[in-house]
Amino acid sequence: MPEGLVVVDKPQGWTSHDVVGRLRRLCGTKKVGHAGTLDPMATGVLVVGVGRGTKLLTYLVGADKTYEAVIRLGQGTVTEDAEGEVTAVAAPESVDALTEEQIMQAVGGLLGEIQQVPSAVSAIKVDGKRSYARVRAGEDVQLAARTVTVSRFDVHSMTPLDLADGTHVVDLSVTVDVSSGTYVRALARDLGDALGVHGHLTVLRRTRVGSLDLTHAADLDELKQIIADGATVPVTSPDTAARAMFPSRELTSQETTDLGHGKRIAATGSAELTAAFAPDGGVVALLEDRGNPGERTAKPVLVLRAQ
């Protein structure tokens, strides 16, 4: 059985759970999970863990991400994306009056650390029930704002369009770099609201999760063909993945033994999680410095190779 991470280029129309189900069949194991759900409408990077690789997924979920998207100004939808019913349409003259300067000023207001109200049709639980399930049941769901960071919000093009029903809209092609927990469709909604014309997402493609991007990805047809040719699903080993995802520390034999038993060792001196590697090059644990200044030690928060 392969063990490690598989970066899948998720096709449109598939849920993240669908992809996990396909990988379970292709890899011949139930020990498969994913890091960071993608909506069925979205495509792109979905990081899947297989076997021991599933242990790393928790630490990938919190990684920053890059998306390419199309934001449609002039219409709002119940889901804040193209799959939902249109609930609001801006006056044609309001859309026609939009200027590049106005749009870029509103984009600037969504950069940096911001307070974002998640989409009501998100998977966030409200009193034990998914928010989207409450919305579909006809409830009016109000979620609390949360702090997120938008470190890049590039607008590549602004295209005025007349839809088949005569609605005037402007489509923005954008790239955003965002922290974990950021909803890109909420950015589309908030941008439209800031401009007074409503907004929603029509295209979403995730191109990066942490250090893993589309250059590492394979689509499901490619993986299926690999299996048909008699090979196994190619994975990025936990050792290689850990070196790519975290700062690294080389261990002595004694430190390797201590960490394998869950013991603390000398501090790493880093504010980040650090991957610790045995003399043979294999990843042993993820470390986090803890304790008072001058007394800090490195605690294994995840042991990947027990003694």
DSSP state of 81: B
Distance from the Cα of residue 1 to its chain's centroid:
26
39 in active site: yes
Half-sphere exposure of 143 (CA within 13 A, CB side): 23
Is 204 strand, coil or helix? Answer: strand
- Among residues 9, 39, 81, 239, the one annotated as catalytic is 39
Torsional class of 37: left (φ above 0), alpha (ψ -120 to 50), beta (otherwise): beta
Query: Given 3-state DSSP classes, what are the helix, strand and coil percentages for the chain, each rounded to the nearest 5?
Result: 25, 35, 35
Type of residue numbered 222: E
Are residues 216 and 7 in contact, defined by beta-carbon separation less than 8 angstroms?
yes
Q: What is the dihedral of CA 98, 102, 107, 110, to 10 degrees?
A: -110
Which of the residues are catalytic? 39
